[in-house]
Structure 1
Amino acid sequence: MKEAMNFRALAKNVITLPKHPNIVDVLGVSLEDVPYLIYLEYIDYGTLKDFLMRNYQQSSSGSSNKDDVRDYDKTLQLTTFAFDICQGMLFLDKQSYRHPALSARKALLSSRGQCKLYDFWPVDVANDAVNQLLEQKIPPIAWLPPETVFIGQYSEKSDIWSFGVVVWEIFSLGETPFGGLTCAEIEGKLRRKQYLEQPRACAGGIFGTMLSMWNPSVNERPSFSSLYKTLQAFLNDMKKNINERCEEEPNYFSLDKDSSDDDYIEHV
């Protein structure tokens, strides 16, 4: 009954949520009869995680012989994904929403290459959503901050931690954080402050930003507003470097785009 009441509260809130390019559009809701429904727009390319694994996993080995300019283009795209999600989270934060289940599977990718978030909750029911996650048979501990895992506390700074894990997913090209470890083993790492290692495709500056999001002191984590400025600065520098390289090297390659159909319904 409580879940049904929370879903009704969510539906009544999201139908009035302003549109944003990095948020999945709500087309309508149905609350007359059970089951209650929220109708969302269809996003062409499915989840960001699946896109990363389809497009980058085969080229992530050390034997890759891609051109340097192409590598720069890939890094620019990965950083753009992170920036898109940051913009979406900044918008949700300003609208008093939280995203307790934030992960690369909760970002859908449009045919234009835009990341759009879904499955977020108003602040007043977000704690209930967190409790449901923690009560799952295999809770998503790898994405949750220590204060949520160990003492059940959850706030906007908890979403900052989760966003750091999403950025790690992006630059690890779709890998699962702490893949192969049990929940107990992940908890042990969190207690010992042994966090995720730097992905091979990740620049030092971006990894340093990740580490700031994983600060065990909740109040010392950056805000989404400051992360927006940081990622925007990274993007501007990358675009400048690519433009300079393109002027020097006329043989420029853009990333191949996978046009295969992808049904993301199983992940929603």
Structure 2
Amino acid sequence: CNYTGRIAACIVEAIIIVVLIIVIIYLIARDRLGPGKKTEARSTNQIEEMKGAENRAYMDLQELEVNKNKKNKNLEVPETNVKLVSNLPGKGMLRYHKALVMRAEGNLEAVVRTLSGNSTLRMNELQSSEVQHIFKLPGDNSIMKLLGWCDTVPNYLICENLSGGTLSDHLTEEFSSQKVHQYGNTKRKRFQVAEKGNAAHLPKYALQVARGLKFLTKHRFVSPGLRSKKVLLDAAGRCKLYDFVSMENAKEWTKLFWKENVPFQWMPPEFLFLETISSAGDVSFGVLLWEIFSYG
């Protein structure tokens, strides 16, 4: 009897132990599987949120690009509304023309930049690319105001007409030999003419050009071979830059368009030896300062 009772007690203990083991295994499995499912659910939600954020960002970029294209499209002028009046002096593949833009509110005098008749397909593509780059620039008083463009081949870039001429011509006229002659045609007398008031404008010219270069650098543009002939004056006598190119196209631009007309005197050493264009090439500005303060 005692033996049978012991066996029964052992069986009960074994059953209890098995039940406890099953309960422990169940609890462990629940703890492990439960958070995993929650984590998986959270991961799925996070992935969905990330995809949603990416889609929204993509849509925002698309909308921004559409707005830019709309802005450029709004500035497009039909070719029939642009009449080229006369050629402006210049050499190389780039051509500048005085033009008349016909509008409902009245005709507008302007300057059109385009390419010469023997331009290549790649030159036309580069000109089109630059037109679109330039129209992404915000307005600024230090550069020529952009009025519109024509979807021609090559593209027309339509700019404001500045009546003051180039800085080079202005300096030459202000300190011409005829004006100096009445004081005596010597270099010393020429400086005396400047001291009578004309030279007061020279630091202003230098500062205005420096501000223009700062603006272009900020927006990743450069003005290769900057010199007094590439600075224009408006009716109020303010300097404005007009010949600049985006950093993306600068190297190919100068290689294609300058060819034999490279202004070596104004170019930095890295361009002459490595054909590298960058905003750090301030040699041109240094030579321009020499032009300004030596009266052209």
TM-score, length basis structure 2: 0.53
1:26-45 matched pairs, under 5 angstroms: 26-31=146-151, 33-45=152-164
Question: Counterpart in 2 of 1:224?
Answer: none
Runs of 4+ in 1 over 3 A off after TM superposition: 65-68
What is the rounded CA distance, in whole Å, between the counterparts of 2:190 and 2:262 in structure 1? 39
Q: Tell me, yes or no, if the aligned pair for 2:175 and 2:190 is still in contact at 8 Å.
A: no
Q: Secondary structure at the match of 2:138?
A: coil
What is the rounded CA distance, in whole Å, between the counterparts of 2:291 and 2:191 in structure 1? 22
1:84-103 matched pairs, under 5 angstroms: 84-103=208-227
1:118-267 matched pairs, under 5 angstroms: 118-132=242-256, 135-136=259-260, 138-158=261-281, 160-174=282-296
Per-residue CA deviation, residues 182-217 of structure 1 (Å, 9 max, x unaligned), is xxxxxxxxxxxxxxxxxxxxxxxxxxxxxxxxxxxx
CA RMSD of aligned residues (A): 2.1
More strand by share: 2
Given residue 93 of structure 1, which amino acid in structure 2 is its aligned partner?
Answer: T
Q: Secondary structure at the match of 1:24?
A: coil
Q: Secondary structure at the match of 1:124?
A: coil
Per the TM alignment, residue 91 of structure 1 is displaced from its structure 2 partner at its CA by: 0.3
Per the TM alignment, residue 22 of structure 1 is displaced from its structure 2 partner at its CA by: 1.3
Q: Secondary structure at the match of 1:38?
A: strand
Q: 1:14 aligns with which of 130, 134, 151?
A: 134
Q: Secondary structure at the match of 2:232?
A: strand
What is the rounded CA distance, in whole Å, between the counterparts of 2:186 and 2:132 in structure 1? 47
Q: Tell me, yes or no, if the aligned pair for 2:175 and 2:295 is still in contact at 8 Å.
A: yes
1:117 matched to 2:241? The reply is: yes
Q: Tell me, yes or no, if the aligned pair for 2:128 and 2:154 is still in contact at 8 Å.
A: no
TM-score, length basis structure 1: 0.59
Per the TM alignment, residue 173 of structure 1 is displaced from its structure 2 partner at its CA by: 1.4
Q: 2:189 aligns with which of 54, 64, 82?
A: 64
What is the rounded CA distance, in whole Å, between the counterparts of 1:148 and 1:66 in structure 2? 35
Q: Secondary structure at the match of 2:240?
A: strand
Per the TM alignment, residue 172 of structure 1 is displaced from its structure 2 partner at its CA by: 1.8
Per-residue CA deviation, residues 218-265 of structure 1 (Å, 9 max, x unaligned), is xxxxxxxxxxxxxxxxxxxxxxxxxxxxxxxxxxxxxxxxxxxxxxxx
1:3 matched to 2:123? The reply is: yes
Q: Secondary structure at the match of 2:197?
A: helix
What is the rounded CA distance, in whole Å, between the counterparts of 1:36 and 1:100 in structure 2? 21
Q: Secondary structure at the match of 2:154?
A: coil
Q: Would the alpha carbon gap of residues 5 and 66 (structure 1) be closer, same or farther in structure 2, given more than 3 Å must change?
A: closer
Q: Tell me, yes or no, if the aligned pair for 1:101 and 1:120 is still in contact at 8 Å.
A: no
Q: Secondary structure at the match of 1:27?
A: strand
Q: Tell me, yes or no, if the aligned pair for 2:174 and 2:198 is still in contact at 8 Å.
A: no
Structure number with the bigger relative contact order (C-alpha 8 A, sep ≥ 6) is 1
Question: Counterpart in 1 of 2:143?
Answer: 23
Q: Would the alpha carbon gap of residues 25 and 134 (structure 1) be closer, same or farther in structure 2, given more than 3 Å must change?
A: closer
Q: Tell me, yes or no, if the aligned pair for 2:148 and 2:158 is still in contact at 8 Å.
A: yes
Given residue 55 of structure 1, which amino acid in structure 2 is its aligned partner?
Answer: E
Per the TM alignment, residue 67 of structure 1 is displaced from its structure 2 partner at its CA by: 6.4
Per the TM alignment, residue 63 of structure 1 is displaced from its structure 2 partner at its CA by: 5.5
Per the TM alignment, residue 103 of structure 1 is displaced from its structure 2 partner at its CA by: 1.1
Between the aligned residues of both structures, percent identity stands at 29
The number of residue pairs the alignment matches comes to 170
Q: Would the alpha carbon gap of residues 66 and 36 (structure 1) be closer, same or farther in structure 2, given more than 3 Å must change?
A: closer
Question: Counterpart in 2 of 1:195?
Answer: none
5+ residue gaps, structure 1, are 175-268
Q: Tell me, yes or no, if the aligned pair for 1:133 and 1:140 is still in contact at 8 Å.
A: no
Q: Secondary structure at the match of 2:163?
A: coil
Q: Would the alpha carbon gap of residues 126 and 62 (structure 1) be closer, same or farther in structure 2, given more than 3 Å must change?
A: same
